A and B are shown apart, each in its own frame.
Chain A
Amino acid sequence: DQQVKQNSPSLSVQEGRISILNCDYTNSMFDYFLWYKKYPAEGPTFLISISSIKDKNEDGRFTVFLNKSAKHLSLHIVPSQPGDSAVYFCAAAGSNYKLTFGKGTLLTVNP
């Protein structure tokens, strides 16, 4: 049972354009959401997070939007840069202290 779903395995965008990565969740007990970025042969690194009491969190070029009624969140990267090419994991957490990850979306930013 996938509680966190990233339905797009890959996404390709041009440098300078916007990248939008999507994530859906099914567990209503999740109240904290995170995005991690992963380069090949490295571990995931934290990118940005959002609490369920907010609907938007921004950090530089990265913005995460949360739509609780739709159980959907998205990560916007503007402008996209070639160095952003990586796998992006959506993760969700609740009071059980566990992070539940999606399968990841491979983002390729073309120069």
Chain B
Amino acid sequence: DTAVSQTPKYLVTQMGNDKSIKCEQNLGHDTMYWYKQDSKKFLKIMFSYNNKELIINETVPNRFSPKSPDKAHLNLHINSLELGDSAVYFCASSQIRSYQETQYFGPGTRLLVL
């Protein structure tokens, strides 16, 4: 009964490919997030959705597109993968849209672009 789950856990792919990472939360939360942890270990927010509406969209390349089919799911699609996209991607959720709400993180997806 994992609270926030991500698939796949590992993803190895060639430059130029298109890939998707899926995230699901069973906590009944309204808000979901995508974070990227790069080689320098910083965790940086990429996107946030509240009730399927995009509320945070950081400066990320257009090749990254989040999609929220419903409140419990937030998927991340990446087009034309580049070497610099190699990182760990974390999905998270919180009950409501508030920075004082605890965010619950998934286990991460380790993406390696060759």
Query: What does the 1/0 interface line of B27-59 toward A look like (CB < 8 Å)?
Result: 000000000000011111100100000011010
Task: Collect the chain B residues with CB atoms within 8 Å of residue A93's CB.
Answer: 99-100
Cβ-defined contact, B90 with A43, below 8 A: yes
Query: Which A-chain residue is minimally distant from B42 (CB atoms)?
Result: A103
Contacts A41-B108, A103-B41: A97 and B97 contacting too (C-beta < 8 A)? Answer: yes
Cβ-defined contact, A101 with B44, below 8 A: yes
Cβ-defined contact, A44 with B97, below 8 A: no
Partner pick for A97 among B43, B98, B106, B107, CB 8 A cutoff: B98
Query: Which B-chain residue is minimally distant from A42 (CB atoms)?
Result: B107
Partner pick for A46 among B42, B55, B56, B103, CB 8 A cutoff: B103
Cβ-defined contact, A43 with B99, below 8 A: no
Contact size class for B?
A: 20 to 34
CA distance A41 to B9 in the complex (A): 9
Partner pick for B41 among A42, A95, A104, CB 8 A cutoff: A104
Partner pick for A32 among B40, B48, B99, B104, CB 8 A cutoff: B99
Contacts A43-B92, A43-B108, A103-B40: A98 and B45 contacting too (C-beta < 8 A)? Answer: yes
Is A94 part of the binding interface, using a Cβ–Cβ cutoff of 8 Å? Answer: yes
Task: Collect the chain A residues with CB atoms within 8 Å of residue B56's CB.
Answer: 97-98
Cβ-defined contact, B100 with A95, below 8 A: no
Task: Collect the chain B residues with CB atoms within 8 Å of residue A101's CB.
Answer: 42-44
The residue in B48, B92, B98, B102 that gathers the most chain A C-beta atoms within 10 A of its C-beta is B102
Partner pick for B103 among A42, A99, A100, A102, CB 8 A cutoff: A99
Cβ-defined contact, A32 with B100, below 8 A: yes
Partner pick for A98 among B42, B99, B107, CB 8 A cutoff: B99
CA distance A32 to B101 in the complex (A): 10
Within 8 A of A (CB), among B49-81: 55-56, 58
Cβ-defined contact, B102 with A46, below 8 A: yes
Task: Collect the chain B residues with CB atoms within 8 Å of residue A95's CB.
Answer: 99
Which residues in B have some Cβ–Cβ distance to A below 8 Å? 4, 40-45, 48, 55-56, 58, 90, 92, 97-100, 102-108
Which residues in A have some Cβ–Cβ distance to B below 8 Å? 2, 32, 36, 41-46, 49, 51, 89, 91, 93-104
